[in-house]
Amino acid sequence: MPALHPDVLALLRQAREAGSQPFETQTPEAARAAHAARARALQSPGPALPWVRDMAAQAGEGPPVPVRLYCAAEAAPGGPPLPCLLYLHGGGWVLGSLETHDGLCRRLAQALGACVLAVEYRLAPEHPAPAALEDSIAALRWLAAEAPSLGIDPARLAVGGDSAGGTLAAVLALMARDGTVPPVVFQMLLYPALDLAMTGESYERFREGLPLTAATMRWFIDHYLPPPMDRTAWRFSPARAQSLAGVAPALVLTCGHDPLCSEGQLYAARLEREGVRVTALHASDQMHGILTMDKAIGPVAELVAFAAGVLRRHW
């Protein structure tokens, strides 16, 4: 078992002393409140940006999707438009919002020197699958259609997300390859969930003592994909796609103390085997969910800068 970073050890000790309860022991409403409180306590506000605007993405007949556009600079009149990362937050498809990931999206936009469009997709169990995916598709289609009016370059759109958001981003990348959503040029997968059948060997290693365990993931998936939904369908488990060839180049971040670790590493290896350019970064001393914990975990700033740097160089 790899060693944990001292900052992570200190945070876990504080959580135990405070009597923090696992999400799976709470109602979804209580878990959302606890998750939001943790984000406020552990995430720095992020930098002030020249342009931040809340909007509604409307594409097709579905409901409008709340989105927040962060721009590190405004496109100069007559100048080149800016690239944009469509960002999908984590939280097991049950938790999370624009607010829980606001600081992270601000830091990404600043590090990219570009735009980030954060999406507040509908959450389970009130809105089980495929609601989150439908909202993600609508947001990408809206972004591509509205890009010229927003000063964004529709030829330089990327998708990304952490955890459950990484799942959605990976599915969008597959759909973009197949032409069912607008093209994307990159996918940023940050400790993503990629096989909701929960067959990865790291599920066996992480059953207690961490914010995300096998039991927590089962609770999330049971809400998101209640029976009889097929958890092996590629729209929910992109690792089960027949082929990954031809998808956009990828960054895959995995953490050593995370039940999702093995499936992320296997996905990165499969992307490489099937001819996709991939950067795989493994933080062996880190745990799931750290990117919204930068006030407590020092290496987060370096990880965000690295992820942004890979995408910036690709653009």
Residues designated as active site: 163, 258, 288
3-state secondary structure of 57: strand
Q: Is residue 304 within 8 Å of 276, Cβ to Cβ?
A: no
3-state secondary structure of 1: coil
Element (H, E) at 286: strand 278-287
Report the DSSP pairing between strands 65-71 and 115-119.
Answer: antiparallel
Torsion of CA 177, 190, 283, 203, to 10 degrees: -90
Residue for token digits 């999908």? 88
**Cα separations in angstroms, 39 against 11, 48, 290:** 13, 18, 10
Residue 32: phi and psi, rounded to 5, are -65, -40
Who's near 233: CB < 8 A, 6+ residues apart? 240
Q: Which residues pair with 92 in a beta bridge?
A: none
Q: Which residues pair with 160 in a beta bridge?
A: 87, 188
